[in-house]
Amino acid sequence: MIIGVTGFQGDVEEHVKASRIAGERIGVDCRVIVVKDRSDLKDVDGLIIPGGESTVMGKLAVYRDVMSEIKERIESGLPVMGTCAGLILLAKRVYDRVVGETRQPLIGTLDITVERNTYGRQRESFESWIEVRRLSIDRFRAVFIRAPAIVEVGGDVEVLATLGTRPVAVLEGGTIGTSFHPELTSDTKFHELLLNIAKGRPEGCF
């Protein structure tokens, strides 16, 4: 199986490494490649959009016309995971807490509304232990870095984890989205979930 990590900007290598380890842990033979062009997308069975700056990634994805291709592939069933900036790019509706409308290019396939910079600036960035019952995780070390918040979820979206009452990890079809960064810590359960979905065995991971 081939997992692609979009390499426009952000913590690409961290996702590459986490995906490799996840593959070893669940016994899936998986090769991980960096996707920067349309042709790189051809053979991927699953895609990850990393953390970073969503405005930067969006611009670069449009520059080489990769964004539209990603959208088409997701619409025809490509499993995908977006973390932080990746979550923003996947969301159908996005605004910024400080400047309001952002007019940034989006993939826009995940039925949620995201507010950018909700938790404040870097000074307010935090980590916290969360429970992800759906993945049988009692304590997951979740790192939120200038994180976006999921303020609305559509009817078909399943909430995988919350911080207090606010959703911080969601699943809709083959799309996983998190406000935090599972790639920065050693628990690879979210990557394992993506690999399992790509492998066509979503039921096996719960």
Partner 1 sequence: MISLVRETLEQGTRRSTVSHVEVTVGTTLVKRGFAHMCKHGVVMDVTNVEQAQIAEDAGAVAVMVLDKLPYDVRKAGGVARTASLKVIEEVMDHVTIPVMAKCRIGHTYEARVLESVGVDMIDESEVLTPADEERHIWKWAFTTPFVCGARDLGEALRRIEEGASMIRTKGEPGTGNVAEAVRHVRILNNEIRRLVAIEEEGDEQELARVARELRVSFELARETARLRRLPVVNFAAGGIATPADAALMMSLGCDGIFVGSGIFKSSDPHQRASAIVIATTYWDRPEIVAEAQKMVDESKSMLGMDVKNLELRMQERGIL
Please identify every residue annotated as catalytic. Answer: 84, 181, 183
Q: List contacts with partner 1 (CB under 8 A).
A: 7-14, 17-18, 36-37, 51-53, 55-56, 59-60, 63-64, 84-85, 96, 98-99, 102, 116-117, 119, 121-128, 143-146, 163-166, 181, 183-186
Nearer to partner 1, 76 or 122 (CB): 122
CB 110 within 8 A of CB 92: yes
Nearer to partner 1, 92 or 119 (CB): 119
DSSP string, 78-112: --EEEETHHHHHHEEEEEETTTEE--------EEE
Smallest separation (angstroms) from partner 1 to the CB of 58: 9
Collapsed DSSP state (helix, strand, coil) of residue 60: helix
Nearer to partner 1, 2 or 21 (CB): 21
In the beta sheet, which residues pair with residue 35?
A: 6
Smallest separation (angstroms) from partner 1 to the CB of 52: 5
Phi, psi of 144 (to 5 degrees): -110, 115
Smallest separation (angstroms) from partner 1 to the CB of 200: 27
Using CA atoms, how far apart are residues 42 and 111, in angstroms rounded to an integer?
25
